[in-house]
Structure 1
Amino acid sequence: MDIIYCLVPKSYWETWEGKETYLPRDYEQEGFIHATKSEELLGKVANRVYKDFTDELYVLVIQEQKIASPVKYEQAKDGLLYPHIYGPLNKDAILEIREMKRTDGNWGVAGVVG
């Protein structure tokens, strides 16, 4: 099963409750949803993108084959390929939602939400 991961602030995620799809805050600017392929990269990305973020952070665990929008793997500035979702993320592709926690100043995956 191919799994990809997407980070989202908890407070923003809650604004999408009851909706069938999800789009991040920066979708209009970026034109796609940022995701990552491995849990190892997830912490690295969270520490870079959410370095100064102090609120709660979630990670969406997504089954790639169930995503209705196109997914393209594109090279980022760090030279690695990352999955980008070009359209809304249908929530039935989300297998679970996990919490991210800071330990010694670094983000890491914690338990399952709910």
Structure 2
Amino acid sequence: MIYHIATRDDWAAAQATGSYRAASLDSEGFIHCSSKRQTLPVAQQFYRGQGDLLLLCIEESQLTAPLAWEAPAHPNPEISEFTGSDSEFPHIYGALNLDAVLAVKCLREGRDGFVLA
């Protein structure tokens, strides 16, 4: 299982069109994902102050687009890697087919960081 943080609006648009395309797919060529262990640190570093976030729980074996585990790719090209991480992250090289998303959970920011609601 891999995970992707999405906005509620982006997920609603995906349901209307039949596939999910993160902005990074156009700008970087892939959709950023994370392992279970990586998800909350990623949320802390990149999603603070954003509301209405969802966690897409994705079954890797059901993806129709290629998946690669690669070195961290920071969305800001001036920063070469994810701070504090030496592990690889899953990247989906194409649109995310909705049937690969097995669960959608609310991701909320609290006083002490992000939690699944």
> TM-score, normalized by length of structure 2?
0.84
Question: Which of 19, 28, 31 is 2:29 aligned to?
Answer: 31
Give, in angstroms, the shift of residue 19 of structure 1: 2.4
Deviates more, 1:57-66 or 1:99-108: 99-108
Question: Which of 45, 57, 61 is 2:57 aligned to?
Answer: 61
Cα distance in 2 for partners of 1:16, 1:90 equals: 9
How large is the RMSD of aligned CA atoms in angstroms?
Answer: 1.2
Q: Does 1:84 align with 2:108?
A: no
- Structure 2: which 5+ residue stretches go unaligned? 73-80
Structure holding more helix per residue: 2
Give, in angstroms, the shift of residue 52 of structure 1: 2.7
2:6 touches 2:55 (CA, 8 Å); kept in 1?
yes
Give, in angstroms, the shift of residue 105 of structure 1: 4.7
Structure holding more strand per residue: 1
Give, in angstroms, the shift of residue 75 of structure 1: 1.0
Structure 1 runs (4+) greater than 6 angstroms displaced: none
Question: Which of 84, 101, 109 is 1:94 aligned to?
Answer: 101
1:43 touches 1:109 (CA, 8 Å); kept in 2?
no
Give, in angstroms, the shift of residue 37 of structure 1: 1.3
Cα distance in 2 for partners of 1:6, 1:59 equals: 6
Matched residue count: 106
What secondary structure does 1:11 align onto? helix
